[in-house]
Amino acid sequence: MQEKPLVIITGASSGIGAATAKLFSEAGHPLLLLSRRVEPMEALNLPNAMCRSVDVMDLDSFKNAIAEAEAAHGKADCLVNNAGVMFTADPTKQNVDEWQKMLDVNVRGLLNGIHLVLSDMVERKAGTIVNLGSIAGRKTFAKHAVYCGTKFAVHAITENIREEVSGSDVRLVNIAPGMVETALVDSSTDEEAKAGWWDYAKEIGGALQPESIAQSILFAYQMPQSVCVREMVVCPTRQEP
């Protein structure tokens, strides 16, 4: 029986990335799991999963990891660009280093992933790139100014490149989650903003579980190659904005 094609997932150590890794593994795909922390990925104990400590901003280590996985399993058929950071805060007080980190990881890191797989996919006339956007890439939210900016960029980049490579049967998909219960929220240094996020999540009956987003990613990927789910916005039913 021929092995299913390789799937690459960034930010695979927790949250949406880890949930997506489990689901694609259950579907029988060999995986390349990437994150700065390798131990949590290895702890998933998934069969046929190569786990590598890679910062998406380090283009060389990113490239080397992909080459190693492709040597073992063939060309990557899917890249899930999931790595991201979110720091929410009053823009008059937020540290500019947090702005830079969001721009670097959420935009440049995503572009590094696209750069490393897109040309080959176009040449082969096959492949799917799934970018994790956000509801914050469609509308703005208080204390999310720069985060929103990065996710608006993800939406624009995804749609623009999709248009340009559609004739080569390569798909770009934007998955835009609303409130999801992940450790991403807790990285914020503004305690008031963080508390407000969790308070609203409780008010609406809870944020989504990462597994719901993983199911959305797998659904979009498993559609026939002739079908491109260009964008999917997935939010708790009771989330108003």
Taking residues 3-11, what's their average pLDDT?
96
Say how many CA atoms lie within 13 Å of 26 toward its Cβ.
11
CB-CB contact of 69 with 32 (8 Å): yes
CB-CB contact of 92 with 21 (8 Å): no
Say how many CA atoms lie within 13 Å of 235 toward its Cβ.
15
Q: Which residues are catalytic?
A: 147
pLDDT at residue number 1: 60
Q: Is the pTM of this model over 0.85?
A: yes
CB-CB contact of 6 with 77 (8 Å): yes
Write the pLDDT tens digit of every residue in 38-82. 999 999 999 999 999 999 999 999 999 999 999 999 999 999 999
Question: All domains of the chain, ordered by start, with CATH?
Answer: 6-234 (3.40.50.720)
Write the pLDDT tens digit of every residue in 165-179. 999 999 999 999 999
